[in-house]
Chain A
């Protein structure tokens, strides 16, 4: 089934971080502890799924029919900023413990290129509604997978003896490279 292929592809083969290079800032910044990474990943997945739906709707119901596709960039970014704001307010009101766990990451998500990248790629690949939803959820889960794996590795690194110049971003990038290499092995899984 094509949607299943799309879903698995989005998580493993065309992983947002390791293949499309989207979401690098949070990937490097929030990946020091597994639970922080998990919260960030789930928050991103949630916003991504919503964004996929809303940006698809705006693109196909308003922008394209009226020939306004040059407004894509402006509308998408405004939609994302508003969505993130709404999600943050909603979570704060309905579930304070959940807000404690992941609320702080939400404002960061607005400039997370992964979200904007999702809106743009969905538009670029001309997905229909079902495909857009599957792509959004799958990509979010792929991001979560990458960031949690990175956090797991970095937690181990805490007790390793990393040379001074490599500490911090440099070693994280090299690890990301090795992870990307490993994930490359998933290519060709789907025929």
Chain B
């Protein structure tokens, strides 16, 4: 056979074999990968809505999802808000846990961040940062205390500590939470947080 047809045959064969191989690998790993992603979200929801054993998606749009955490009785234990915003260098992804009446913020979980190691990256650390975000007042916007207070008790219910040397990362988290707070309250007022889910247009 001449060169052209040989080229075509070889290319097609390699392509088909590769495609077939990849398809089997793809199918074998697809479920596992989806499961990993789902488990990461579930773990975050349970950590910020204590007492929840299952979750349901109440509202979803690009980069902003509101989950409802259900307790053992099947009632709504609280809301877990998946949101993100600009940090020092890249996106910070948070899971915000609030109670069912949206009046208390339970806790924050940082799902993804690329802040400066040793400084901004401390936002994932409980003792340096996240403990100040536990059991706060969700009915008002939050503000930062600078210089940081010595202990969580010396802050008001709407104040959180900055990390020394990482003001920008601390402010970034603050802005993300405040924006999410306004958004979820508006959604609740518009009745969009009913079980069954609503998708943004």
- List chain A positions with a Cβ less than 8 A from chain B: 5, 13-14, 19, 67-71, 74, 126, 128, 187-188, 190-191
B89 interfacial contact with A, CB 8 Å: yes
15 of the cross-chain contacts (CB-CB < 8 Å) are: A14-B89, A14-B90, A19-B89, A69-B26, A70-B25, A70-B29, A74-B18, A74-B19, A126-B62, A128-B62, A187-B89, A188-B88, A188-B89, A188-B168, A191-B172
- State A19–B90 Cα separation when bound (angstroms): 11
Other than A14-B89, A191-B172, give 17 A-B pairs with Cβ distance below 8 A: A5-B86, A19-B89, A67-B30, A68-B26, A69-B26, A70-B22, A70-B26, A70-B30, A74-B18, A128-B62, A188-B88, A188-B89, A188-B168, A190-B86, A191-B86, A191-B168, A191-B171
Q: A interface, by DSSP: helix, strand, loop or mixed? A: loop
Least distance between B115 CB and chain A CB atoms (Å) = 10
In the bound complex, residues from chain B placing their C-beta under 8 Å from that of A191 are: 86, 168, 171-172, 175
In the bound complex, residues from chain A placing their C-beta under 8 Å from that of B39 are: none
In the bound complex, residues from chain B placing their C-beta under 8 Å from that of A67 are: 30
- State A190–B86 Cα separation when bound (angstroms): 8
- State A128–B62 Cα separation when bound (angstroms): 10
In the bound complex, residues from chain A placing their C-beta under 8 Å from that of B23 are: 70
In the bound complex, residues from chain A placing their C-beta under 8 Å from that of B30 are: 67, 70
